[in-house]
Structure formats: C-alpha cells, structure tokens
C-alpha cells in the first residue's frame, strides 16, 4: 500500500530548490540560451569576482600581455564567457569561478595552529580544510591571520567584495583582544596611540582599552584600521612588550559570535551580507544566498577544499 506524500517539506531540507523541482523552468539547451544565462563579462570583472586579483591588478596583467584569451593576448576591452579559455602566464584559469550564481559569505572561528593560506608547503592544516567547498567559484579570504593568531575570519565567493573590504581606503575597523606579559606603563600606551615607526612605516592603535588580567598576563582590546603583516604584534614589540595571545574579535561590521566555537564556520544571512556590501561601498550585483538571518547555516569539518 503506497503512502500518500504530504505537500509539506519533511525536516529542514535544502536551502535551495533541487534540480528536479517542478517549479523550476525547464533548462534551455541551445547555445544562445547559455549565453543569455551567463552574459559576457569584461575580463577584469570576471577574474576579480573569481578572486584572482583586484580589477586594477588584472588591468596591469592585461597591459603587460600576461593574460591570454583563447590562445591570443587579451586586451583591456576584451570580454569572456562560457566556453572561452583564459590563462595567466600560460597557466589555465578556472573561468567558471567568476560566473557564480550567488554571493556567499562565511565567518570562521580560526584556532591557533592553522594557516590562512590555501596550501602550506610544510603540510600544516589550513582554514580551507575546515570550510565547505562551494558548488561554483571558490572561497576568498578577507585578509589573513598568522599561524599563532586566532579569531574571526571572513570568506566570500565574491573576489571583488573581498578586495574592497581589505583595501586601505575603506578604513574598516579591526579589533583584537591581546594578552601581554606584564603591565605596560601608561606612557608606553600613549606612545602606541600616538604612533611608532615600524620597518614598513608609521603605525598606531586608534584605541586601547585595558580589560585587566591576573599575574603576569594582562589583556587589552586594541583597534586599528589597516591590516599590515603582523602589525599588532610588531606595535607591541616596538615598546618592548611581548604578546602571548592574539584574537581578532571584529572586522568592519562583523563581530566574532560568542556561540561560534573554535574550528567552526557559519554562513551569513542576507542582512549581514548587505551590511558588508555597504561597508565595502558596493551595490549588490549578484544575488544573495538565502541563508536565514535568524538561524544561519553552520558546521565544522564539511569537505576539504583544496582549490
């Protein structure tokens, strides 16, 4: 005896309609239909969306003749689409990565002991081993945290969004919780606020808040608006202080959730993604993923992503 199937979805179900959903229109098979679905895009935009570099960087590669389109040197006005072949310095590029159907953003609570790079020559674990591989495109990290630094990391399938969030002109807040060995004299804290000279130029903390501590360890929260290599550690070292622990707790409009354990990720809802777009000074061009703001998708080890 067959059981009558209810019209309601059982359980949480997928966030997106399946390819067998009768509500979806039938796929067009003609080449014209494919072109209509994925229009030609300028190479600068295509590769920036895929996370290969900013539009300005791609323009410099085009000017230097480093990019080839279908076997010939590409120019700044050239467009590419489905079926075209792009290469950089003779190395093929994944063209479909720039033709993503949606903009997705994850936050990840990075623990100490993981690299922020896509691969590590020493074989150490990376954050890309811990996050879900997107069906199209690839994850691009918004900045990096070094091996011994923990905290908030943002990853997106939109390379242009990542580039804008990292650009110094946006002046986005980076807030860190810092544990320093011993108390630091008030005059040294004033020096860190007014600015010190590092090897790559002057730097300063916009804010320093003493949050207390016990014994030889003292905690501070610091804010700066740029992301140079090991800048937080180098600033403290410039006044003779030693950082024993460093956690990024905020980047732009996003803060590290207190209920997100180390080594876990969470996909942002549309409202949070729009806040990031506003912070980056971008208008939404790609459709946003349908993750709920009230209960965002989350998890731990999903599927190794070694793209």
Q: Which residues are catalytic?
A: 146
Please, is 6 exposed, middle or buried when counting C-beta atoms within 10 Å of its C-beta (0-12, 13-18, 19+)?
Answer: exposed
Distance from C-alpha of 254 to C-alpha of 267, rounded to nearest angstrom: 12
Distance CA 219, CA 242 (A): 12
Residue 28, CA distances (Å) to 18, 98, 167, 229, 303 in order: 17, 21, 40, 49, 31
- What is the Cα 129 distance to its own chain's centre? 15
Q: Which long-range contacts (CB under 8 A, 24 or more apart) does 88-91 make?
A: 88/52, 88/61
Determine contact, residues 151/109, Cβ cutoff 8 Å: yes
Tokens linked to 218: 């003292």
Distance CA 278, CA 273 (A): 9
Q: Please give the C-alpha separations between residue 222 and each of 42, 93, 112, 207, in angstroms, as whole numbers.
A: 41, 40, 19, 6
Q: How far apart are CA 55 and CA 45, in angstroms?
A: 6
Distance CA 115, CA 129 (A): 10
- Give the count of beta carbons closer than 10 Å to the beta carbon of residue 97: 21
């Amino acid at each position: 005896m067959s059981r009558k199937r209810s019209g309601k979805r059982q359980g949480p179900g997928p966030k997106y309609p399946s390819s067998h959903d009768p509500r979806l229109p039938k796929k067009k098979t003609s080449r014209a239909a494919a072109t209509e679905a994925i229009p030609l895009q300028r190479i600068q935009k295509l590769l920036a969306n895929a996370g290969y570099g900013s539009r300005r960087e791609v323009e410099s590669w085009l000017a230097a003749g480093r990019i080839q389109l279908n076997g010939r040197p590409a120019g700044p006005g050239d467009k590419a689409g489905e079926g075209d072949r792009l290469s950089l310095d003779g190395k093929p590029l994944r063209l479909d990565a720039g033709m993503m159907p949606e903009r997705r953003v994850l936050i990840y609570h990075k623990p100490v002991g993981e690299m922020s790079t896509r691969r590590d020559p020493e074989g150490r674990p990376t954050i890309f081993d811990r996050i879900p591989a997107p069906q199209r495109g690839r994850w691009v990290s918004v900045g990096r945290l070094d091996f011994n630094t923990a905290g908030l990391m943002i990853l997106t399938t939109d390379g242009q969004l990542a580039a804008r969030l990292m650009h110094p002109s946006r002046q986005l807040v980076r807030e860190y919780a810092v544990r320093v060995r011993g108390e630091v004299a008030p005059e040294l804290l004033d020096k860190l606020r007014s600015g010190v000279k590092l090897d790559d130029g002057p730097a300063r903390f916009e804010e320093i808040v003493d949050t207390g501590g016990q014994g030889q360890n003292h905690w501070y929260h610091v804010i700066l608006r740029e992301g140079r290599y090991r800048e937080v550690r180098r600033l403290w070292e410039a006044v003779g202080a030693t950082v024993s622990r460093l956690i990024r707790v905020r980047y732009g409009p996003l803060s590290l959730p207190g209920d997100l354990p180390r080594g876990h990720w969470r996909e942002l809802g549309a409202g949070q993604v729009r806040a990031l777009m506003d912070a980056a000074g971008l208008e939404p061009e790609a459709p946003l993923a349908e993750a709920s703001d009230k209960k965002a998708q989350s998890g731990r080890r999903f599927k190794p992503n070694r793209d």
